[in-house]
């Protein structure tokens, strides 16, 4: 889709995007670049050691490149191509036409359009959000909890690890819903992901339904999602190590603190607004 030519002094790397974020780290190291892909802008200045050029042989790829600029990074370009590649077949034709006719001015506009088009094309949707907790194992058995900014900086790695972990279930946990109630008759898909807001990363769960839930069914679904998160996302994800420069990172979608909540989309928007007001008043 897009090819990146990355140079570090006299060393050059040709990288086809999209790519696993872990592979990108390794390939960058192979030419002596130790920086995160999120720290490498899409610039190619002769007076700088590291430079990046992007190109595509297809018309679609060339128009997609117009949504990226020098403020974006290698990680951004990779994420953009991942989102395009993973888009539902129901929206791909319209999405490609929009991109070919330059309907989007930025990468964020493309990603937001994919999300909105997916929601519009599919069945009834409901979304829940929850806080995340991350712990680093330094290699000696000692664990320490990382802050929000660390999780935000590791968003790509966490998203990649989560996608790999849920791949065997086709990225869908709905098959684990075992209650005999109205939710079980309506729930067709439950997909775990992460979403960045400002400098904080949250867990996001997209649920597809045959029809809208009642208030009682919404609470039943909320309780089940919370239970899945407290069990380590199907009793396992929070035990999967995610490699970082500081050691192995372990991420959980649940914690026992009083501030934990499984929030609906409206509740989450209120939470973000209240948080901004609190910060602004400090």
Long-range contact set of residues 204-208: C-beta below 8 Å, sequence gap at least 24: 204/127, 204/128, 204/129, 205/127, 205/128, 205/129, 205/130, 206/125, 206/127, 207/125, 207/126, 207/127, 207/128, 207/174, 208/122, 208/123, 208/124, 208/125, 208/174
* d(C-alpha 83, C-alpha 238), whole Å: 24
Q: What is the pLDDT of residue 198?
A: 85
pTM of the model: 0.62
For the chain, give the percent of residues with pLDDT over 90.
57
Name the nearest CA neighbour of 244 among 131, 112, 132, 150. 150
Q: Would you say 66 and 2 are in contact if contact means Cβ atoms under 8 Å apart?
A: no
What average pLDDT score do residues 53-81 get?
95
Both tokens of residue 27? 């390939």
Q: Determine the Cα–Cα distance for residues 177 and 167; give it in Å rounded to an integer.
A: 18
Confidence of residue 239 (pLDDT cuts 50, 70, 90): confident
Q: What is residue 178's three-state secondary structure?
A: coil
Per-residue model confidence (pLDDT) at position 179: 85
How far apart, in whole angstroms, are the C-alpha atoms of residue 143 and residue 141? 6
Output 185 or 276, whichever has higher pLDDT: 185
Strand (E) or helix (H) holding 192: strand 187-197
Which stretches within the chain are classed as H helix? 21-30, 59-65, 74-86, 89-100, 107-121, 148-153, 155-165, 182-186, 215-230, 233-236, 265-281
Report CA torsion sign: 89, 99, 6, 51.
Answer: negative
Residue 55, pLDDT score: 95
pLDDT of residue 170: 47
């Amino acid at each position: 889709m897009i090819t990146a030519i990355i140079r570090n002094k006299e060393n050059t790397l040709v990288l086809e995007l999209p790519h696993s974020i872990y592979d990108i780290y390794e390939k960058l190291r192979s030419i002596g670049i130790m920086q995160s892909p999120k720290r490498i802008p899409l610039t190619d200045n002769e007076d700088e050691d590291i430079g990046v050029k992007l190109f595509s042989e297809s018309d679609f790829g060339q128009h997609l490149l117009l949504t990226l600029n020098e403020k974006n990074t290698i990680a951004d370009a990779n994420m953009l191509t991942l989102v395009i590649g993973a888009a539902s077949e129901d929206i791909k034709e319209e999405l490609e036409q929009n991109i070919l006719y330059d309907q989007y001015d930025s990468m964020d506009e493309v990603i937001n359009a994919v999300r909105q088009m997916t929601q519009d094309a599919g069945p009834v949707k409901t979304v829940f959000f929850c806080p995340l907790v991350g712990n680093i194992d330094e290699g000696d058995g000692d664990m320490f909890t990382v802050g929000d900014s660390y999780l935000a900086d590791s968003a790509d790695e966490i998203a990649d690890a989560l996608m790999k972990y849920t791949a065997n279930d086709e990225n869908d946990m709905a098959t684990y819903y075992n209650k005999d109630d109205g939710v079980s008759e309506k729930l067709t898909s439950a997909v775990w992901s992460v979403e960045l807001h400002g400098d904080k990363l949250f867990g996001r769960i997209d649920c597809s339904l045959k029809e809208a839930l009642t208030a009682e069914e919404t609470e039943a679904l909320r309780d089940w999602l919370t239970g899945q998160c407290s069990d380590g996302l199907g009793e396992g994800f929070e035990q999967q190590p995610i490699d970082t420069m500081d050691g192995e990172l372990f991420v959980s979608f649940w914690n026992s603190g009083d501030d934990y909540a499984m929030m609906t989309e409206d509740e989450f928007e209120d939470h973000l607004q209240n948080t901004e007001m609190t910060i602004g008043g400090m």
